[in-house]
Amino acid sequence: MGMTMTQKILAAHAGLDFVEPGQLIEAKLDLVLGNDITSPVAINEFEKIGANSVFDKSRIALVLDHFTPNKDIKAAEQCRQVRQFASKYDIDNFFDVGRVGIEHALLPEQGIVVPGDCVIGADSHTCTYGALGAFSTGVGSTDMAAGMIAGKTWFKVPSAIRVTLTGKLPPYVSGKDVILHLIGEIGVDGALYQSLEFTGEGVASLSMDDRLCIANMAIEAGAKNGIFPVDEVTLAYGENRFRREAVVYEADPDAVYDREVVINLDTLRPTVSFPHLPENTRTIDNVGTVKIDQAVIGSCTNGRMEDLRMAASILKGRKVADGVRCIIIPGTQQIYLDAIREGLAETFILAGAIFSMPTCGPCLGGHMGVLGKGERAVSTTNRNFVGRMGHIESEVYLASPAVAAASAVTGYLTDPAKLN
């Protein structure tokens, strides 16, 4: 019996030749991640048991991205605690305001995660790095604390769903539409305890930004991880970027999957998740008339360069509709700078949008765009749960940057291909 890509990476990190689904293993970690919300809880646990060293200061990343720049005094205190910890243990990959980006945009960009890695992060969207061919999964703060101390953790080896992609994405259809479509097909617990392995000839046509977006939302189907094969696109992305040597794993031809889902990229349409679950998907052709108050373009899901370029291509020469607040947030400082140099920032500002520094901010109702009672947002973020972006009577419609930008222009959920 062959192994899936995920099984192979886990086997290698557990020092075993073979692992099978359901097997409990102890695996070495290449990276342990936390942010300004989850790290304080981990640091409290770390200190409570009297730990006085970390396993490897180069293999820990602490990223102050959620409530930064500090949104209030309590947030400031949490950041201060993480800052002091990072200083005390001389953590190499500590990112503070001015250098910080949204963690799952930042770590791939900086080459801190590489193909073949085994990564845990105290943030559910840690599964993003599967786009690079790494095993990467979200955990809680206690696991983060134990990981920082020991450099290893236990896993139950997941079984896998094979997601076979065929064809090529049409104009105005992106990785976001692929993952929203998939979640709509299998549901928010469709991949519970399982791995999503993306494969098929359609993968080659997907950019790294698209893949990062798709893997990012694997958790929204309940998955433990989402993973892509390593190909020329991955290796080109990694050139002059990956800080460690990439290790390429391939699924065996006789790997066993629980089931297969086939997605023909040619036929995908822009897709929107209606409140209050990511699985409530409709194509843009079936959304009806949904008036919006706010459009958010950014986050660990869609705050990358291609996302901003797409938004700018739609907003160029147009105006954000009266009564709509359009908030555009780059994923990292580098993306921010590139957007300025390419003229995208000017396009956004002339269109009447705000273009801010990187932060998770509005995605989780933190700051920089919290919704009031009865307000509706179209958002390129990843969750539309009750109260996710603010008031419990507010609504979030998840969509791609193209749909969000087009909707910002009209004031209604809009097919970008139908803009005048």
Partner 1 sequence: MNAHGFVHRYGDNVDTDVIIPARYLNTASHSELAAHCMEDIDKEFVNKVKPGDIIVAGKNFGCGSSREHAPIAIKASGVSCVIAPTFARIFYRNAINIGLAILECPEAAAAIQNGDEVTVDFDTGVITDVTTGESFQAQPFPPFIQNIIEKGGLLNSL
Query: Which of 365, 369, 401, 416 lies at the binding interface for partner 1 (CB under 8 A)?
Result: 365
Q: What secondary structure does DSSP assign to 243-260, as a single string?
A: SS--------TTB--SEE
Q: Please report whether residue 388 would count as binding partner 1 according to CB under 8 A.
A: yes
Q: How far is the CB of 386 from partner 1 (least distance, A)?
A: 6
Among 18, 74, 204, 205, binds partner 1 (CB under 8 A): 74
Dihedral pair phi/psi, residue 191, rounded to 5°? -125, 30
CB 308 within 8 A of CB 335: yes
Binding characters for partner 1, 142-181, by CB under 8 A (x = yes): xx-xx-----------------------------------
Looking at the Cβ atoms of 134 and 320, the one nearer to partner 1 is 134
Which pair of tokens denotes residue 184? 């709509």
Member of 9, 218, 311, 364 binding partner 1 (CB under 8 A): 364
Retrieve residue 142's tokens: 């206690």
Exposed/middle/buried for residue 417 (C-beta within 10 Å: 0-12, 13-18, 19+)? middle
> In the complex, what is the shortest distance from the CB of residue 71 to partner 1, in angstroms, rounded to a whole number?
7
At its nearest, how many Å lie between partner 1 and the CB of residue 212?
A: 18
Alpha-carbon distance of 170 to 178, in angstroms, equals: 11
Q: Which is nearer to partner 1, 43 or 402 (CB)?
A: 43
Question: Based on CB atoms, which residue is closest to partner 1, 189 or 201?
Answer: 189
Q: Scanning residues 282 to 341, which ones bind partner 1 (CB under 8 A)?
A: none
In 3D space, the residue among 367, 408, 360 whose CA is nearest the CA of residue 71 turns out to be 367
The answer to whether residue 277 forms part of the interface with partner 1 (CB under 8 A) is: yes
Residue 399 · residue 379 · CB < 8 Å: yes
Minimal distance in Å, beta carbon 24 to partner 1?
Answer: 10
Task: Show Cβ contacts of residue 406 under 8 Å, excluding neighbours closer than 6 positions.
Answer: 314, 414, 415, 416, 418, 419
Q: Tell me: does residue 97 bind partner 1 (CB under 8 A).
A: no
Rounded CA-CA distance 173/170 in Å is 6
Residues within the interface to partner 1 (CB under 8 A)? 37-38, 40-41, 44-45, 48-49, 66-67, 71-72, 74-75, 78, 122-124, 126, 138-143, 145-146, 188-189, 192-193, 219, 222, 224, 277, 364-366, 383, 385-388, 392
